[in-house]
Amino acid sequence: MASISRVKERAEEQSSAMSSDQQAAIRMLANDLHRLNQSVMKAVDAGVSVELVRSARHHGGDGNWGDLLIPVVVTQPGHN
């Protein structure tokens, strides 16, 4: 759980050399990742396994890229 709570702090540390627009985008990403992690934990607590898998890679055209994810959800028989 400690690593989840540090997502925002790590993103801020890594963004110190970025423009204000880049920093705002990273803050938004960190917040969204925190919410995603909370949702994954809720799903696991509800009785499913969740794996995030890269479905594609977005290329910005200037050498930057980012992974796009989809969830793979697995339930165990008899655990509905």
Contact between residue 50 and residue 72 where contact means Cβ atoms under 8 Å apart: yes
Is residue 8 predicted with pLDDT exceeding 80? no
Averaged confidence pLDDT in the chain: 87
The predicted structure's pLDDT at residue 10: 75
> Per-residue pLDDT tens for 40-78?
999 999 999 999 999 999 999 999 999 999 999 998 876
Is it the case that residue 2 has pLDDT exceeding 60?
no
> Which residue pairs from 63-70 have beta carbons closer than 8 angstroms and sit at least 24 positions apart in sequence?
none
d(CA 70, CA 40): 12
Residue 79 pLDDT: 61
